[in-house]
Amino acid sequence: MAKNTVGDWDTTANNNTDVGGISIAEGMMAANVNNAMREMMAQIATRDPLGASDIGSTVQALDANLTSLAGLTLAANKGLYSTGADTLALYNLTAAGRALLDDANAAAQRTTLGLGTAAVLGVSDDANFANDTGGVAKRGVIATEIAAQIAAHVAAVEWTEVAPVATTSGTAFDVISIPAGVTDIEVYLSKVSLSGSDYYLVQLGDSGGFVTTGYVSRSNVGDVAGLSSVTTGHAIYAANAATLTTVKMRLHHFGGNFWLSEHQGVASTIANSFIAGAGYGTLSGELTQLRLTRSGSNIFDAGSFKVRYR
């Protein structure tokens, strides 16, 4: 076969006996040396650097993945990943990340992360974890229990607000159906007044009704006036019919059925002084209700009353 192009040349030297029909076999004419060299130079000069037969064999064919890779700037601590078909990107790959990735299995990864045996222990769904013998995680049961405990805790610390009640008329205002387990109650009087010189009483009640005796309570307005040894309820001082009283009273369950109270506030007709007092009382059973009333026969004629509890 005549060797008319570089592509015709053979990788076995003895098979190359001509160049473009010029014999270079053993015993060739001396003149063929020059002619053969000139023919070789011409073939090389006209050689197609990448022939069709070279693509995919001696050189890599055009590839979208390689094109995407060529567009990236590689650097230290970078990893390569695919974001889609024929699309590559880089991400940060720290020494710690490489140490985890080269681990052969999960156990080796736990060792790299420094996790102890607790990382592979089962979790019991038994109410008493000491009774667990199976070691099987029942996540749904545990999650339900945790949620219930959180809800109970939130209910214990959040206040339940009772809507304010206008005290513009009437003689008593009751808050009933206070739930079991309440330990703190706050009573607010906002610009409340009476038709005369009675004082205010906050009385507590249980399932047997409101308790109207047995309290020990005091309420003073600075060093001007005060109430001492009131036994009919937790007392709040009120100066006269023209006085608007604004007070906050806090009641706390001290254990058993024993309740303590303290209050602070102001009286509109007494300058430079504030109302303050405290008291206590014992119920026959668990507290279920509360009443705001007055010590005598006066009528409420202004303001509002609000309660919250937890």
Q: Which residues contact 271 (CB under 8 A, 6 or more apart)?
A: none
- pLDDT score for 246: 96
Integer Cα distance of 283 and 256 in angstroms = 9
Structural tokens at position 71: 């567009």
Residues 261 and 230: their CA atoms lie apart, in Å, by 13
The whole-number pLDDT of residue 127 equals: 52
Q: What is the pLDDT of residue 76?
A: 94
CA distance 162 to 309: 8
In this prediction the pTM is: 0.53
Dmax over CA atoms of the chain, in Å, equals: 148
Q: Which parts of the chain register pLDDT below 70?
A: 48-54, 117-118, 120-143, 155-156, 224
What domains are there in the chain, each with its CATH number? Answer: 160-309 (2.60.120)
pLDDT for the residue numbered 140: 59
Q: What is the pLDDT of residue 157?
A: 73
